[in-house]
Amino acid sequence: MALVIAIVVGGVAKGLERWNKVLMPALVAILLVLFVVALRSPGAAAGFRFMFHADFHKLTPKAWLEALGHSFFTLSLGMGAMLTYGSYLSTKTDLLRSAVVIAVFDALMALVAGLVIFPICFTFGLQPAAGPGLIFKTLPVAFAQMHGGSLFALLFFLLLAFAALTSAISLLEVAVAYFVDERGWPRPRATLGMGGVIFLLGIPSALSFSRLAHVHLYPGMTLFDSLDTLATNYLLPIGGLGIALVAGWRLARPVALEEFRDPRLFPYWHLAIRYLAPVAVVLILLFKMGVVG
């Protein structure tokens, strides 16, 4: 957390931009190295089949809603990160092109990550659907059995650390930007204050794996799992719904068109942000609540 605070307190150019220029290429480079290693593993073919063998009978409405819900998390939608980073872009930036590039690149990196993990799973007979325990409990055992496994384990967990660091930076910046822009706080004060608050609020979640393991907000869930469920299933979709409603109904059409820039595609986007996106988000919420699906 101290490193995240130190980066964010540096501001946009000296903090966020400088570190992201280092961390993101490093993250991609490590991922590609591990991808090459996974391709050479005995379980590569099985991993590829697991990833790309299509069973369209499983493509149910529930699966679509699960995918839509996952997109909120993986694309940082509904939490203000995209809005905050977008506000720092030049007026010359093509927002439509940037949005497409971000979505495509995110999907590609997710595919590559899957093609790193699943071949290793099948090589050592691991369950690919083991969830978070796969990363922190099972994969280290698999790395220990690999030739040069210590190096690959180091690269893999360095990859996770970089991913966590870049995510933490973007999330802290959302709160900091609010207090700097709306409240007029100096950036160091806003960063230290919000970073400290977030750190303190995160302590119970960290202790939910040990001393607070007996605390349950939801039946059968630790405090960490409960807060994760609350944020992922409810808070992110609600945030996304609010953004869609504001962009579609409150933002003046000429202003939106000026930012969008492409008058040919703008009517389709405006229709989607006004009607399709809110309906999709409401369906996600109802699905998470168990009302549909």
- Please check whether residue 258 is in contact with residue 250, taking contact to mean a CB–CB distance below 8 angstroms: no
Q: Which residue has the tokens 């930036």?
A: 93
pLDDT of residue 70 exceeding 80: no
Quickly state the pLDDT bin for 94 (edges 50, 70, 90). Answer: confident
Over residues 211-218, mean pLDDT: 85
The mean per-residue pLDDT over the stretch 217-228 comes to: 85
Which token pair is 138? 């099972």
Residue range 261-289: mean pLDDT, rounded: 88
pLDDT at 267 over 80: yes
Every domain of the chain and the residues it spans: 1-53+80-207, 213-293
Angstrom distances, CA of residue 33 to CA of 30, 80, 109, 115: 5, 32, 13, 12
What's the pLDDT at 138? 64
At 43, the amino acid letter reads G
Label residue 293 by pLDDT band (50, 70, 90).
low
- Output the pTM of the full model: 0.79
Model confidence pLDDT, tens digit, residues 140-192: 777 777 777 788 788 888 878 888 888 888 889 999 999 999 999 999 999 99
Lowest mean pLDDT among 4-18, 97-111, 198-212: 4-18
Give the lowest-confidence range in 37-46, 184-193, 281-290: 281-290
Q: Report the length, in residues, of the chain.
A: 293
Burial classification of residue 201, based on how many CB atoms lie within 10 Å of its CB (0-12 exposed, 13-18 middle, 19 or more buried): exposed
Mean pLDDT of 115-128: 83
pLDDT of residue 246: 93
Residue 133 has pLDDT above 70, yes or no: no
Take residue 206 and report the two structure tokens written for it: 């960290």
Distances in Å between the Cα of 41 and the Cα atoms of 55, 143, 210 are 25, 12, 36
